[in-house]
Structure 1
Amino acid sequence: MGPRLLVHTRTTGYRHDSIPAAVACLRTLGGFEIDHGEDPAALTAPLEPYAAVVFLSTSGEVLTPAGRERLAGYVEAGGGFVGVHAAACTEYEWPYYGELLGARFTRHPQFQPGRALIEDHDHPATRHLPPAWDFTDEWYDFDTNPRDTVRVLLTADESSYEGGGMGADHPLAWCREQGAGRVFYTALGHASEAYDDPDFRAHLKGGITWAARA
């Protein structure tokens, strides 16, 4: 019996076709028990049974006021939170969520091959990766560079693709502490194919394991 995760995939904005593949990926990573759903009422129930809450390509406003209060209290008290890809396109009307995640999505160029540079090899989300990791994704830009408030794990090499908008220092995955809790975010994971990629699966598993203190 591994750590129990609450995986939330509700969307009120853009909905990714990759969500079913992403949920299936988490179920087959090994080591976790998965409770998956899209009912916002799940976030108003006690969250203490979960080692981490995972927002998996959520979008728009997905929580009720009671759910916001419950999630914030859970993380501040030591719970884990994981955001994957479009989790950065979520809860724009809730200022705390932007602080929790570290940055918010603004735009992306076309889906294309590019390169991520591993900045921190001492984290379980990145220790398996080569120094330069070739991947295909949307290469999200953010409203702010979160470096001052997060531990940056990998950055986007904007010279490796077209349309990057953040410049030479472009964090793409990071972790941070919020109160007594742990937060991990990765901007990667747009396409269904990503969730079959062994390196990306290990990246996800490492980030979740860290956030959940597993």
Structure 2
Amino acid sequence: MKNLLVGALGTLLAFQLLTTTIAQRREKAVERPLRIVIVTGGHGFERKDFFAVFDSFSDIQWEERQQPQANEIWLGDTLQKYDAVVLYDMWQQITEEQKEGMVSWLKEKGKGLVALHHSIASYQQWGEYTRIIGAKYFLSPGKSPDGKQFDRSQYYHDIKFTVKVADKNHPVTKGLPEQFEIVDETYKGWWLSPNVHKLLLTDHELSDPCVAWAHQYGKARVVYIQLGHGPTAYNNPNFRKLVHNAIRWVAGRE
């Protein structure tokens, strides 16, 4: 009986040790910082203040890639080590091979994507980019994917406006107040896909209504945030919270 009791106790201790080890491994996996690549180029910005946003995220490690070399990330296995891509460029030149790589990494492999502010105006002649982002800002008059004619889109600097959360239950808006004020550049007169999930709205007359959304592109989670022109946006705690949540969500870390 004594030997049986000792054996049972040993088995129990071994099981507890095993479950503790598994839990510790899981905890370590969760604690691993996310790795992201930030694509810049084609549009000026306040570098110090912008990158301070990402430096404030203790659970995220970032690396910058500047255009035109930045589009090389879509080729080969470069993106294998990154959890998500953040676009903050406004670029037009992209090779067919790079296009195929971007589509593959997003649609087939599910690499997360967060697009910020002026990146909505990239690749004006590539229709698939409009589908990736879920919208198009027109640098010159043109037609939207649904055939509507648009004049050149407009932008307005240093506008103080109120942003309202459209879906408070979405992981990207978690922790944000129901509404907040920000001083930023607004966009007006651009096309938005009816299939995106709206996250943030505004009723300011110098802005189109939706200023942030999420959608699925193949296997990839995509978030676009129209906010983010300069330091008044970068230093806004709600903008930082929004970007942080968006990166975590597209990378699969709700």
| TM-score category of the 2 structures, normalised to the smaller one | 0.7 to 0.9
Residue number in structure 1 paired with 2:211: 172
1:59–1:89 CA contact under 8 A, matched in 2: yes
C-alpha RMSD of the superposition: 1.7
Distance 2:117 2:197 in 1: 17
Aligned to 1:192: 231
Q: Partner residue of 2:123?
A: 91
Q: Deviations over 1:67-108 (max 9, x none)?
A: 221111001121111101111011112111100101122222
Tell me the equivalent position of 1:51.
83
1:8-23 mapped onto 2 (5 Å cutoff): 8-11=39-42, 15-23=43-51
CA deviation after TM superposition for structure 1 residue 16, in Å? 2.9
Between stretches 36-45 and 171-180, larger displacement belongs to: 36-45
- Spell out, residue by residue over 1:30-63, the C-alpha distance to the aligned partner (whole angstroms, 9 max, x if none): 211212111232332422322111102x113153
User: Could you say which residue in structure 2 is the equivalent of 1:82?
Assistant: 114
In structure 1, which of residues 100, 113, 119 is the aligned counterpart of residue 132 of structure 2?
100
Question: Structure 1: where are the runs of 5+ without partners?
Answer: none
Mapping of 1:1-214 within 5 angstroms? 1-11=32-42, 15-38=43-66, 39=69, 40-46=71-77, 47-56=79-88, 58-77=89-108, 78-105=110-137, 106-146=153-193, 148-158=194-204, 162-164=205-207, 166=208, 170-214=209-253
Distance 2:48 2:96 in 1: 27
| 20 and 64 in structure 1: CA distance in 2 versus 1, 3 angstrom threshold | farther
The AA in structure 1 aligned to 2:65 is: G
Q: Do the aligned residues in 2 keep the contact of 1:124 with 1:203 (CA within 8 Å)?
A: no
For 1:197 and 1:29, how far apart are their aligned partners in 2? 14
Deviates more, 1:106-115 or 1:185-194: 106-115
Greater Cα offset, 193-202 or 149-158: 193-202
TM-score by length of 2: 0.74
**Identity %, equivalent residues:** 24
Report the count of equivalent residues: 202
Q: Which has the higher contact order (CA 8 A, sep 6+)?
A: 1
Q: Which amino acid aligns with 1:86?
A: H
> Distance between the aligned counterparts of 1:17 and 1:198, measured in 2?
19
The one-letter amino acid of 1:29's match is F
Question: Equivalents in 2 of 1:18, 1:107: separation in Å?
Answer: 22
| Higher helix proportion | 2
